[in-house]
Structure 1
């Protein structure tokens, strides 16, 4: 994967551990594998996620 995409070993390790990576890394992976983001990602609801409060920077409407 590193050779095909140019993604660093550290980023690949993060993927393996289920840690967050940047969108730029995801795009590099897609370009290297000639696929779309929807081919390598899945939107999963996080039941433990905390919704930002209205009026905060995270909760801007």
Structure 2
């Protein structure tokens, strides 16, 4: 899948309690889990992986 995808929030899909904070922290990509938007990419998949391995990271898993 290429390009940007627009998703409209509705009663069936909601923002997590930390959605705005994840945007401020640089979230670039989201997935839908249990009808909720959760961030999956911040700096890029490789950089995010190495941050998990070598640093401290916080993830919105509410």
TM-score range normalised by the length of the shorter chain: under 0.3
Structure showing the higher helix proportion among its residues? 1
**Higher relative contact order (Cα pairs below 8 Å, separated by 6+ residues):** 2
Q: Which has the higher strand share?
A: 2
Structure ID, larger Rg: 1
With the length of structure 1 as denominator, give the TM-score of the two structures: 0.27
